[in-house]
Amino acid sequence: MRREYPEHPLVGVGAVVIRDDHHVLLIRRGQPPRQGEWGVPGGLVELGESLADAVRREVREECGIEIRVGPLLGIFQPIVRDEVGRVRFHYVVLDYLAYYTGGVLRPASDIEAAEWVAPERLADYSLRQETEEVVRRALEAIEQVEEVKRHG
């Protein structure tokens, strides 16, 4: 399965990982596509793997932490074309809310950096519009759950 110039779109997953203090896990990618950009951890689904298992595996591989997978937040179709218009990358990515459950944050070799970011500092990270949107949805979902807990 080729990532570059694929014959078919590739299925990937992403995780908006939230800690109890509402900090969001962001990573800076170390490889194309989007090398050097901040985003959420994720990667390709392996053959025979459930989406939830793929989310857990990717977060563990990229960041060294354990999570509990929550609801689907959004589906995105990043398509990157080369200078002559051929499709260089094409993914269908399902982004999930995920809750941090343990482990020490350690970025893998293909990740330039990984940080827990306070919601009020997210604007400092020049996130893509679709990433900002999915993170906003995750934080709203967390707030709704906490509101129900407070007021029954």
What confidence tens digit (pLDDT) does each residue in 64-120 have? 999 999 999 999 998 999 999 999 999 999 999 999 999 999 999 999 999 999 999
State the amino acid at position 45 in one-letter form: V
3-state helix, strand, coil split of the chain in percent (to 5) is 30, 40, 35
Of 64, 21, 20, 22, which is closest to residue 41 (Cα–Cα)? 64
> What is the mean predicted confidence (pLDDT) over 37-55?
98
Q: What is the pLDDT of residue 145?
A: 84
Instruction: Please state, for a pLDDT cut of 70, what percent of the chain lies above it.
Output: 99
Domain count, the chain: 1
Average pLDDT over the chain, rounded to an integer: 95
1 in any annotated domain: no
Beta-strand relationship, 79-81 and 111-117: unpaired
Examine residue 33 and say whether the peptide bond preceding it is cis (omega within 30 degrees of 0): yes
Q: What is the CATH number of the domain that holds 38?
A: 3.90.79.10
Domain containing residue 126: 10-151
